Chains A and B, each alone.
Chain A
Amino acid sequence: MDSEKADTPEQSKSGPQVMLRLTNVSKTFLSATQTVDALQATNLEILEGEFAVFFGPSGCGKSTLLNLIAGFEKPTTGEILLAGEPVAKPGPDRLMMFQEHALFPWLNVIDNVMYGLKRHGKFRFKPKMRAQKARELLRMVHLEEFEKASIHELSGGMKQRAALARALAPDPKVLLIDEPFPGLDALVRAKLYAELQEILITTHKTILSVTHDPSEAACLGDRVFVFTGRPGRVKAEIRVDLPRPRDMSDPKLAEFSGRIMSELEEGAKS
């Protein structure tokens, strides 16, 4: 599962490679009383190093799609390829960050960050390198002074940053973020957006996130996929070609967020 070895035919071409390819992916939930088309057949490609945002109201299939990519759910039809390999079960190559931080309270901050490194991969049997890598990541999210802290001692924003460090530790090919930073106040969020973009610039991570906040979508996304509900499907795709790091107060950003929102409203009317 070494990321270096996962060469695909696409990588011989020039330009950014396709990291994630979804072909005809759909999901239908069957219950005793009804069937729900959570997601209609979806085709999309996410390029390496791209930040894609799934935007839409609740129940539009965006979280379902994220769960399919993470491997928590199996698609009813279609195929998901990560760097050419079909996706089966959850794994650290498609690491998911949850709405709640999901940090383990029985471990301190640095042990949480090292958790994934202990499970597999090149750091598995190298405790010293593991600690070094974890400290590096904690520095990146500005938590280097809190490595021995218990989880409950961190503030909400610090918890999310620790969760981000833990998610980046196993060096996932794609980082999946289910609603980055909910329940935090606007100031903390603005700071976290800035940090996330900083990390994006330095690590060139491929990131997929889900949100129902149009300004967040415009601030973070290279491409924003607008979803509509019942049945869930991708209605439009908007490319946000603003330079990074982007500032939440940038009027151009507000323009994009307006465009994203109007796409959604058009979808609601039809």
Chain B
Amino acid sequence: MSRANGKSYKYYVLGFYVILFSAWQLLYTFGAIPEYLFPSPLQVARRLAELGTEGLLWPSIKATLVRMVIGFAVAAVIGLFIGLLMGTSRIVNSCLKSLFLGLQTLPTAAWVPVSLLLFGLKDEGIYFVILMSSMPAVAIATSDGILQIPPIYIRAAKTLGTSRLAMPFTVILPAALPSIVMGLKLGWTLGWHGAVSAELIKSSVGLGFLLSMGRELNDASQVIGIMVVTILVGLLLDRFVFGLIETRIRRKWGLDQDQDK
């Protein structure tokens, strides 16, 4: 990845966004886009500030995040467990691999109608959508990571006297960790998609709810603003939670250096 040279391009990236937002603002100023179709960046910012002072924005971010943390935690535990079974048993892997790959190609929003049928408008339905959106990614990454473990680690663990019970916790899962973290990261992103999709229809609080409320009020500024907020919160978590964990593991394992052997 280009993280190593990220610093030297920092100003280009900054410049890019300045140009992007100025272009957006200019198009609006010169009347190239009608106001009711697409708001200006300033209008979006103003609307977001309003939502903030009305006490709608922050509780919504919090509600979506709390749902995500709970739903994703459950998805991660189940995904890890199923991934472990898939990675250690050929039978389980051949049965479940195609199913989970299939589930992963399903757009996360496609789980919303099912959850409406199963749970009605209850909050559980949102957790269900998060679970089904992120769990397959975690399971597949875990099993792929396990299947790629060099056999020599397993042999070394056996000769060092590792019991069958200790093997998953002391060797198999740790050895698959780089892949597992990638799966968790992807699972979080997919769960985030699922959560916002589910909130569009099912909730009275949350970022998805603010999006659909904006549409009902014909308030393009709110719709665009909440989209920006959703992107920013998602990016922030991706960078500062999963990104940092990933960097730490890669550094500890020496995966970012050239192998000098």
Q: State in angstroms the CA–CA spacing of A218 and B156 once bound together.
A: 27
Confirm or deny: B10 has a beta carbon within 8 angstroms of a beta carbon on chain A. Answer: no
A92-B161, A95-B160, A116-B160 in contact; A152/B253 too (CB < 8 A)?
yes
Known: A98-B152, A106-B174. 11 other contacts (CB 8 A): A94-B159, A100-B152, A102-B155, A104-B174, A105-B253, A105-B254, A116-B160, A119-B163, A150-B251, A150-B254, A170-B160
Q: Is the CB of B159 within 8 A of A106?
A: no
Pick the residue among A90, A94, A116, A119 that contacts B155 (CB under 8 A). A90
Smallest Cβ distance from B80 to chain A, in angstroms? 16
Q: Is the CB of B156 within 8 A of A102?
A: yes
Q: State in angstroms the CA–CA spacing of A115 and B177 once bound together.
A: 18
Q: State in angstroms the CA–CA spacing of A91 and B252 once bound together.
A: 29
Q: Which residues of A contact B159 (CB under 8 A)?
A: 70, 90-92, 94-96
Confirm or deny: B56 has a beta carbon within 8 angstroms of a beta carbon on chain A. Answer: no
Q: Which residues of A contact B253 (CB under 8 A)?
A: 105-106, 150-152
Confirm or deny: A166 has a beta carbon within 8 angstroms of a beta carbon on chain B. Answer: yes
Q: Which residues of A contact B251 (CB under 8 A)?
A: 150
Q: Which residues of B contact A119 (CB under 8 A)?
A: 160-163, 166, 170
Instruction: Give the residues from 120 to 179 in chain A that come closer than 8 angstroms, CB to CB, to chain B.
Output: 120-121, 150-153, 156, 166, 170
A119-B166, A150-B254 in contact; A102/B152 too (CB < 8 A)?
yes
Instruction: Give the residues from 59 to 102 in chain B that come closer than 8 angstroms, CB to CB, to chain A.
Output: none
Q: State in angstroms the CA–CA spacing of A183 and B252 once bound together.
A: 24
Q: Which residues of A contact B252 (CB under 8 A)?
A: 105-106, 150
Q: Is the CB of B158 within 8 A of A90?
A: yes
Smallest Cβ distance from A134 to chain B, in angstroms? 13
Q: State in angstroms the CA–CA spacing of A163 and B164 once bound together.
A: 22
Smallest Cβ distance from B162 to chain A, in angstroms? 6
Q: State in angstroms the CA–CA spacing of A170 and B161 once bound together.
A: 9
